[in-house]
Structure 1
Amino acid sequence: MAKKNTRNTKGRIIEAAWRLFYRQGYDDTTVEEIIAESGTSRGSFYHYFEGKDALLSTVSYLFDQKYEELMATLDPDGNRFDQLMYLNRELFAMIENSVSLDLLARLYSSQLITRGDKHLLDHNRTYYRLLRQIVLQGQERGELRGDVTVNEMVRVYALCERALIYDWCLSGGDYSLLQYGKTMMSRFFRDFRAEEENL
């Protein structure tokens, strides 16, 4: 039970922070506002985070929360390629509508230069576990190629998502990430469909 409360408190702080960052901007959001918005205490905040800057690396937590919500909406009988494309669309819609472009760009640049944890590449995240599960099921059902490893497919999928997000950040968000992602993710990933699925 303590583990769940820990996660809930930390999660509330993260979710509140990102809501405020999106509404007010990172620089105009204070730790006190994050504490008030999350309904937690100053002690709880500093138990999990050294300061506001430490929250920049938590966007992967936000993404994983979205994936956990989406897991419940997946049709167990649905085509696994289609499930992957659905997850991508939903994530890109969330990013486009609730994550500050400036903060996303900061996160990506910090992940390039960090010597510490690279949260986006943490294979223990919900994101990677869910992708591995879907790809494995797709192979077992004959919907995705069996001659490519699960890990390689997951790696390519994640690489394609990061590439699209990175380009969107570089372009200053001057196009719809969601709309462009709908087209490009299926193009990037379609070679992993099983032969009969490609017809």
Structure 2
Amino acid sequence: MAKGNNTKAKIARVAWKLFHEKGYEETTIDEIILQSGTSKGSFYHYYSGKDELLASLPEIFDAKYEEVMQALDPEMDSFDKLMTLCFSVHDLIESDIPVGLLASLYSSQVVTKGDKHLLNQNRFYYKMVNQLVDEGQRRGQITRSMPYYEIAHMYALCERAIIYDYCISDGGYALGEYTRKTMPLLFGGVRVKQEVK
């Protein structure tokens, strides 16, 4: 990730952490700047104001996905990589993202006629999922019964379904724990059973 993208993601991540801890209304731009270790100029280079940060969640998620991807063992089973990435981001959501603001983002994506940030196929997220499913198919770890892009779409659908349920349940359960139980069941049908040697 380029330095500029790192700064932008860092500002967004700090902002969302403060929104979670203090509430959106009580969080000031000055606090975001101070805690992110950036300048006022940097903040306004990337964001016109606090409201624009509400649309920055996909950037936060992508920064987390990229961070986790870099730490994964390249030899790890591709299905397990996908699960690790999902669990990591859902843990981040549970710890740093206020469920009310997450629900607002999801509802805005349902009614908007314009840019649907969560579905932007140019995001790191979609490129990464497509790449991992393709890798898993080539390694014989993920079924070849469907094209990689259809399986990647299923993965995103399963992730969104869990987050949607978390939102309509008003964050009433531990998202990370629930995802660890649910995601392998929802998405597990694409995994090729490996023969025990």
TM-score above 0.5 = yes
Task: Give the paired residue count.
Answer: 196
Q: Is the 8 A contact 1:84 1:131 kept in 2?
A: yes
Sequence identity of aligned pairs in percent?
Answer: 47
Instruction: Report the equivalent of 1:62.
Output: 60
Cα shift at 1:21: 0.9
Deviation of the 1:48 alpha carbon:
2.3
Match of 1:179 in 2: 177
CA distance in 2, matches of 1:80, 1:26: 38
Tell me the distance in 2 between the aligned counterparts of 1:157 and 1:88. Answer: 9
Q: 2:22 aligns with which of 21, 24, 45?
A: 24
1:71-98 CA-to-partner distances (Å, cap 9, x unmatched) read 1222222211111111111111111111
How far apart are residue 5 of structure 1 and its match? 4.4
Q: Residue 121 of structure 2 aligns to which amino acid in structure 1?
A: H
Correspondence for 2:157: 159
Measured in 2, the distance between the counterparts of 1:162 and 1:198 equals 31
Q: Which amino acid aligns with 1:141?
A: R
Q: Which runs of 5+ in 1 are unaligned?
A: none
Q: State the alpha-carbon separation in 1 of the partners of residues 71 and 78 from structure 2.
A: 13
Secondary structure (helix, strand or coil) at the match of 1:72 reads helix
Once the two structures are superposed, residues 138-175 of structure 1 have per-residue CA deviations (whole angstroms, 9 ceiling, x without a partner) of 10011111121111111111011111001101101111
1:95 is matched with: 93
Structure 2 CA distance, aligned partners of 1:174 and 1:157?
23
The alpha carbon displacement at 1:32 in A equals: 2.5
Alignment of 1:86-125 (within 5 A): 86-125=84-123
- CA deviation after TM superposition for structure 1 residue 198, in Å: 9.2
Pair 1:198–1:162, CA change in 2 (3 A): farther
Q: 1:191 aligns with which of 189, 192, 195?
A: 189
Is the contact made by 1:190 and 1:198 (CA closer than 8 Å) also made in structure 2? no
Q: Work out the CA distance in 2 between the residues paired with 1:16 and 1:123.
A: 25
Give runs of aligned pairs for residues 29-40 of structure 1, distance below 5 A. Answer: 29-40=27-38
1:11 aligned residue (6, 9, 12): 9
Q: Which SS does the other structure have where 2:71 is aligned?
A: coil
Indicate the larger mover: 24-33 or 61-70: 24-33
Question: What are the superposed Cα offsets for residues 9-46 of structure 1, whole Å, 9 maximum, x if unpaired?
Answer: 32332122112112111111122222232333334333
Range 169-178 or range 35-44, more displaced: 35-44
CA shift, 1:135, in A, is: 0.6
- Partner Cα distance (1:73, 1:4) in 2: 17
